[in-house]
Amino acid sequence: MHLKTLVLVSLGTFVAGSLSSVTAAGTDNYVTTSIRDGVVRGRSATVEDGKTIDTYYGIPYAQPPIGTLRFKPPALPSAWSGIRDALRPSKTCVQFVYDGYAAEVVILVVVVVVVVVVVVVVVVVVVVVVVVVVIVVVIVVIVIVVTAVVVIVVVVSVLIVVVVEV
């Protein structure tokens, strides 16, 4: 919410600064021009460096996307008769902004990261357990083999002693 306020204040400051460069004498200098759909009236203004610009606002570029035009490509606007004032911006289309979307994306990203971390930890733990089990099995096998060798050596030694005495 604070970011929206900051952006709006910054935008307002920029627009006010830009408009302050237009001279007061240029505010009532109307100009007209012909376009495909008719004649429009705008304003001529002198800006910084003595340059003159003509401004036209609210000239329709398409018919409103309502009724049969909904979900269709833009249709050319209807022509008008007389002079159309293009002195002020027209109304903008209504657009709903769902503020919760960004929060839901963040939550989804956090959940995915947590799931990935948990899976990685589980895999690492399983690998460590398997390695430990393999090491223990190898040690047990070595102990059994060494014990068997010792038993065989002892038995053979006893047999040799018994045979030599007989």
- What's 7-59 look like in SS3? HHHHHHHHHHHHHHCCCHHHHHCEEEEEECCEEEEEEEEECHHHCEEEECCCC
pLDDT at 162: 85
Which residues 6+ apart lie within 8 Å of 89 measured at CB? Answer: 57, 58
pLDDT at 2: 43
Q: What is the C-alpha separation between 23 and 52, in angstroms, rounded?
A: 10
pLDDT above 80 for 97: no
Dihedrals phi, psi of 122, to nearest 5 degrees:
-60, -45
pLDDT at 101: 67
- Read off the pTM: 0.40
Q: What is the C-alpha separation between 111 and 60, in angstroms, rounded?
A: 46
AA identity, residue 11: L
Please provide the average confidence, as pLDDT, over all residues in the chain. 82
HEC readout, 20-31? HCCCHHHHHCEE
> pLDDT tens across 35-88, in order?
999 999 999 998 888 899 999 999 988 998 889 999 999 999 999 999 999 999
From 45, 71, 69, select the one nearest 56 (Cα to Cα). Answer: 45
The mean pLDDT of 135-161, rounded to a whole number, is 94
From 46, 42, 132, select the one nearest 87 (Cα to Cα). Answer: 42
Three-class secondary structure of residue 34 per DSSP: strand
pLDDT above 60 for 100: yes
Tokens 């000239």 -> residue: 59
Q: What is the C-alpha separation between 165 and 144, in angstroms, rounded?
A: 31
